[in-house]
Chain A
Amino acid sequence: MKFGKFLLSRIATFLLVIFIGVTTVFFVPRLMPNDPVEAMIGQMTSNAGSMSPEAVEQMRESMNSLFGLDGSVMHQYLDFFKRVVISHDFGPSLSAYPTPVMQMIARALPWTLGLMLTTTVLSWLIGNLIGLLAGFRKDKPLSKFLEGIAILMYPIPYYIFALLLIMFFCYLLPVFPLSFVVQGEGFNWVHIKSILWNCFLPALSLILVGFGWWVISMKTMVSNANEEEYVKFARLKGLHEGRIMRRYVMPNVMLPQVTNLALQIGGIFNGALVTEILFGFPGLGSLIYQGILQSDYNLIMGTITISVISVALTTFVIDLLYPFLDPRIRYS
């Protein structure tokens, strides 16, 4: 009963997020002073050598319906929703004609999600572990040192980490590759090693970005929890410190960190996009960038819409997991 109500409210928020996101994506090009479709047709006809007139006409049609330029606004708005929600069709890409945009996204999305999920989980685990230990032994010099590092690292934006890593490990000490080139194919060591090698720097920069916040927030909560009566009682009972940390402190401080994770997914995703572009990582971010550089509006619309939807979906899933982790939850 109560869970049903909780689920309904979460689904309502999720749908609203999708609605606002897709509506924004639909209306932004219409509010622009220049007509992107005509600008693009012009650009295409100027280098029409590579495209037949029928292809251009087909493109104009596909873009017209995608941008909502035939029929009434309302009709086109609904049509756009239908395309997004039901047929997942964003038309052909212009820069890689005639590959459908959706196919390009399907190729890029696993890379982005893989990078994002791995780094988020690693950063969350490492950061919280260090925060937990530092908060539990907060008077040790090492704890203070680690907290100091975290405080200096937390406010620095993601692209700074990415640029610094590129500077040090691609130029000054050329250990890692400058551009993303995967060797080999299929499930074998050469291929896997090559992927790991190429992913290392982007992943490291994303881990470093998230890390600071988890250390700081965890450390504060743990050192507060450490002063609580029930922890003092456990100590008086003569329980082992390790047990106090695992059974008395940790469960109580873990839950807010899960909520924080749900709230931060959007920010982490923003970071992943820019990091991908700077490293040339073959994910959604680079696809968006390709769309921008080549004025491929089908690609831009498609990638941005999918970005909004995947972030909303991830947040929604984490939100739903929360009550299963918290025995006290009241589904309010």
Chain B
Amino acid sequence: MAGKKNKTNKYWNFRLKMGAVLLCVFLVIGFIMPVFCKVSPVEWQSYSRNMDPTAEHWLGTTGLGQDVFWLLAYSVRNSFLVGIGVAFFATAIGVFMGLLAGFKGGWADRIITLLTDSFIVIPSLPILILISSMMKGTAPLFYVAVVLVIFNWPWPARQVRSMALTLKERDFINTALFSGESTGKIILKEIFPFVMNWSLANFINTILVAIAAESSLAVIGMSSNTTATLGTMIYWANEHQAMLAGRWVWIGAPVVSTALIFIGLFLTMTGAQQMWAKRRGTNA
């Protein structure tokens, strides 16, 4: 039995490694490579158009005369920035609300639960489309990110609330309460360590969700069209018939990168969760 468990854990840690490697590759492409880029990659006609991959242009150039590799690097960076920003705020707000609802109970709990229950089932994309259609595709990326935060805090709030409800009944919390600790201190010192790992996993997952949401808006031309993100890169390639013209690298690069980034994020998240589960097991 024990041997079997170790074996599955090894398998999971393989996932963590794979995920981390994939993520590192794209973080390097997104955050370190742009330092070496001389020309703004979104500028049209910087180079001659529709070039095949060469030593100078690793992935060739687009039908608009942009270097595909540099454009991709900037897109990866911007997509990551949106994802990380949204994930940070959504998780922070969600965990705070969840703890508040779980520990305060009463009206705070009822209102927060009602809000989270409703927000979870409201389809976010139509609302996002409505907002960006009013801005005609010129909404700054920041606005899009704010709306994404609004739609992504309820999930962690709901999960953390149920965690808080079970934790509240544990003996050590009662001990802390009876020994006169303040609620704030209990939440910070006794509860938070329990919620911490889960929040990290949620953080990674929300990066994934946020990048997906921004890109799906962008693919239909409803995000910030002039900012390079993975979605807008696909949008421009589609808009200029990259598929019809057989410019497979132009449209393929962002499509394949998106797929790999998402697989990387997912493997990292599940791998890390499994690792924590194992660590908890050895401590007990």
Interface flag for A51 (CB, 8 Å): no
Give per-residue flags for B117-145: 1 if the beta carbon is below 8 A from chain A beta carbons, else 0: 11111111111011101111000000000
Residues of A within 8 A of B118 (CB): 13, 16-17, 20
Q: Nearest chain B CB to A149's CB is how many angstroms away? A: 12
Residues of B within 8 A of A32 (CB): 134-135
Interface flag for A315 (CB, 8 Å): yes
Residues of A within 8 A of B136 (CB): 295
Is B133 within 8 A of A269, CB to CB? no
Q: Nearest chain A CB to B96's CB is how many angstroms away? A: 21
Residues of B within 8 A of A164 (CB): 255
Residues of A within 8 A of B258 (CB): 156-157, 160
Interface size class of B (residues with CB under 8 A): 35 or more
Is A166 within 8 A of B243, CB to CB? yes
Q: How far is the CA of A269 from the CA of B208 in the complex (A)?
A: 18
Interface flag for A100 (CB, 8 Å): no
Q: How far is the CA of A288 from the CA of B216 in the complex (A)?
A: 14
Interface flag for A80 (CB, 8 Å): no
With known contacts A155-B263, A288-B129, A291-B133, A278–B121 Cβ distance under 8 A: no
Closest to A275 in B: B216
Q: How far is the CA of A234 from the CA of B202 in the complex (A)?
A: 38
Chain A, 300-323, CB within 8 A of any chain B CB: 300-301, 303-304, 307-308, 311-312, 315
Q: Nearest chain A CB to B208's CB is how many angstroms away? A: 6
Interface flag for B160 (CB, 8 Å): no
Q: Nearest chain B CB to A264's CB is how many angstroms away? A: 10
Residues of A within 8 A of B243 (CB): 166-167, 170-171
Within 8 Å by CB of A308, from B117, B123, B255, lies: B123
Interface flag for B228 (CB, 8 Å): no
Q: How far is the CA of A21 from the CA of B248 in the complex (A)?
A: 40
Residues of A within 8 A of B127 (CB): 21, 24-25, 28, 304, 308
Is A273 within 8 A of B126, CB to CB? yes
Residues of A within 8 A of B124 (CB): 266, 270
Is B125 within 8 A of A292, CB to CB? no
Q: Nearest chain A CB to B192's CB is how many angstroms away? A: 26
Q: Looking at A157, A278, A295, which has the most chain B CB atoms within 10 Å of its CB?
A: A157
Q: Nearest chain A CB to B282's CB is how many angstroms away? A: 20
Residues of B within 8 A of A289 (CB): 220
Q: Looking at B118, B125, B130, B255, which has the most chain A CB atoms within 10 Å of its CB?
A: B130
Residues of A within 8 A of B208 (CB): 155
**Nearest 10 pairs of A and B residues by beta carbon:** A155-B266, A270-B125, A155-B262, A157-B212, A307-B126, A266-B123, A32-B134, A17-B118, A304-B126, A292-B133
